[in-house]
Amino acid sequence: MYFIANWKMFGSLNSLNSLNKVIKFFKIFKKNKFLKIVYCPPTTLLGPMAEIFKKTKIDIGAQNCHEQDSYGAFTGSVNSKMLKNIGAKYVIIGHSENRQRGENDKLINQKIKSASRSGLKVIFCIGETLNEKRKKITKKVLNRQLRLGLSKIKSKNKIIIAYEPVWSIGTGLIPNASDLYETINFIKKKIRKIKVLYGGSVNPKNIDYLKTINNLDGYLIGSASQNSKKFIDIIKKRYS
């Protein structure tokens, strides 16, 4: 079961102080064998976080990467090789906040290929907008995102899908259990043996509801993950 923390464009060196709580919690948590915690901070904090988690089983990941894995004149960009070099094991690709800023399926596909070549595990985000949900074209949208995003990628064993309905990210809204179960099943039938996470407003209150959806392999957690206590509460409640 994955618990992936996406800090988005938040966090400073001071924010790292509270991670000790998570390290201590993980060490003594009886069910720790069953879970994988991954922190995806902004790029500026990857190095310091790698140091903090060095002697722990907690992994770090990046929130995006350039589509080219070789070095080049791309001011402001970071490639997957550089991320791997600083200690990242994972990278989030296709997040809706980046799709909304112009990343299309083709670019996402190139990024996934690049990350895979560098040996990073990819957390590949897909999800429909509110408008698409209203038009009842969720499956069509997911199908397109999966087909184009994973085009010509033979080995999918280093890819994890994060189903994140765009209308649920940062809104406090979550899908109802039967819709979510069905969507996760749909994705798992399309790509066999793939792990599928849910992301969108996961918090210590709604985890009791979300844990009833038993085909999920974990959660991608945004704002609640920036608070160590809330993040720990989510994990504890998931297993209570």
Task: List binders of ligand PEP among 122-181 (CB under 6 A).
Answer: 164, 169-170
If binding is defined by CB under 6 A, does position 93 make contact with ligand PEP? no
- Count of residues that interact with ligand PEP, criterion CB under 6 A: 14
Of 59, 66, 68, 95, which is closest to residue 197 (Cα–Cα)?
Answer: 95
Residue 182 among the catalytic residues: no
∠ CA 19-23-28, nearest 5°, is 145
Among 6, 118, 145, 183, binds ligand PEP (CB under 6 A): 6
If binding is defined by CB under 6 A, does position 222 make contact with ligand PEP? yes
Q: How far is the CB of 94 from ligand PEP (least distance, A)?
A: 11
Tell me which of 67, 97, 103, 164 is the catalytic residue.
164
Of 200, 196, 198, 197, which is closest to residue 222 (Cα–Cα)?
Answer: 200
| Interface map 8-47 toward ligand PEP (x if CB under 6 A) | x---------------------------------------
Shortest-Cβ-distance residue relative to ligand PEP: 222
Tell me which of 66, 67, 95, 97 is the catalytic residue.
95
| 24 contacts: CB under 8 Å, gap ≥ 6 | none
Which residues are bridge partners to 233 per DSSP?
A: none
Residue 98 and residue 231: Cα distance in Å, rounded? 24
Of 194, 157, 234, 221, which is closest to residue 4 (Cα–Cα)?
Answer: 221
Of 48, 49, 150, which is closest to residue 93 (Cα–Cα)?
Answer: 150
Cβ proximity to ligand PEP: between 88 and 220 the closer is 220
Residue 164 among the catalytic residues: yes
If binding is defined by CB under 6 A, does position 223 make contact with ligand PEP? yes
Residue type at position 149? G
Q: How far is the CB of 109 from ligand PEP (least distance, A)?
A: 20
Task: State the catalytic residues.
Answer: 95, 164
